[in-house]
A and B are shown apart, each in its own frame.
Chain A
Amino acid sequence: MPEIIKVDNLIQVYGDGTKAVDDISFTIREGEFFGFLGPNGAGKSTTIKILTTLLAKTSGSVTVAGYNVDKEPQNIRKIIGVQSQETVIDADLTGRENLTLQGHFQQMRSNMLRERVDELLKLMDLQEVADKRARNYSGGMKKRLDLASILVHKPKLLFLDEPTTGLDPQSRNVIWEYLEKLNKEENITMFLTTQYMEEADRLCRKLSIIDNGRIVISGSPKELKQQVGADSIKLSYENDESKNVTNEKAKKILGEIQGVTNILDSDGGLTVYAKNAGFIIPDIVRAFDKQKIKLTSVNFSSPTLDDIFLKHTGRRIRTEELVQNPKGGIFSRRRR
């Protein structure tokens, strides 16, 4: 498959001196489902803005579908569809009018456009509300209309900036199914940014983790998980003294157990990494017993993307923070 995005040594420095993107390079092939994973402010949105011709880069070379972002932005705009994290539709227009207007922006002919709009309204299950003003749509319907609106001109490449942020689990699942279908059946290349590990794991076949403007690691979810190379055991226990003392003590005990490769703090306890962790759980329990520390729970899991994230960025993303994610994406004025 030929390359559809090629980024070499991309650097973006903002007026105030902030280095939002610090020398990144990557390529994406046609038909790929690519995920850009990183916390807020990592440089995801800035990268998307450059790729979608919204922002002029500081330096480096960027081509999309063979077109240079600086010299041929109009050609790029004809083949891409861009969805921002916040739902962007014109609430005063009906669903049908929203889609039709997007088609006009792409210079589509009226009869073709009419058919395409009907097709999308059907695909997104919006037929019944097609002629109602979008203001009255539910959150999930608005999101589907937004997604439909970037598909009107049959783009080859979709940019999805945190497409399911703020959605309830059911709506999120629906969007995931649409995205998978578009990727598989229509061979649309997907460039997705997300903070959700689950989303990246389910959808993406290739991932890059970005932190502080740099790509820290790339690969398929499976490869990345193998790289961590260890299962994890989450422990929580009762603290009789002040927490720190017990934590230190627990770490010391765990450090002496054979097979443990890493110990990290996690919410309300510790996460222990080990190859074949199943075998050392009895050792852990015995050691804690001996020191009279009461274990309250032991959870065992195979490597997840969350572990990879933690390993490479030193941070874990908490679900609660995601739900309350502040407004602001690539189309909004707040820049990342």
Chain B
Amino acid sequence: MSETISALNNAGYSGLVRIDETGLQGMITLRGDLSLTTVKKVATTASGATFPGQRQITVSDTGALAWMSPDELLILCPYEEVSDRLAKMTKTLGNTNALAVDVSDARAIFAISGEDARDVMAKLCPVDLHPEVFKPGEIRRTRLAQIAAAIWMEDDDNFRLICFRSVAQYAYDVLKVAAAAGSAAGFHAAQDPV
């Protein structure tokens, strides 16, 4: 069996912030009517996390559950466990009009960490990233320069970003430019209450 590697094979860069392609990450997309009990149950069981509200992402020990749209959820779990969890999901769903698909190899995931993380992300995404507006626990699908991406915060200095695997190199390059040494904007740091 061939060795599975992620899009950029754990590439990393240190500039204003630390940028890491964090390697293989299990991801399962679940589409269906999110008000159905079965769909809710499948999502929470597979991710181990509580059911998220609108635009929320909830985290568990072994995964996370993200609200992607009114009829779509994203389940994050260890890469090796995807097929097991997916099989259980499909079985539980049965004839329910919903679809669970393994998208792990279709996506790339990045970690952006450091004090200037909000500034770096704000250079690329048309999103209000003020600490009082965008907080850990919220996931925002938006654009990163010219590509679609979903971003959320693990804590106050750590962003996570998901994009399509085919544009992983672009995402990495554009993040490196935004985090180039000497390009500090110092905007969000100045907003913090002293």
The reply to whether chain A is a binding partner of chain B is: no
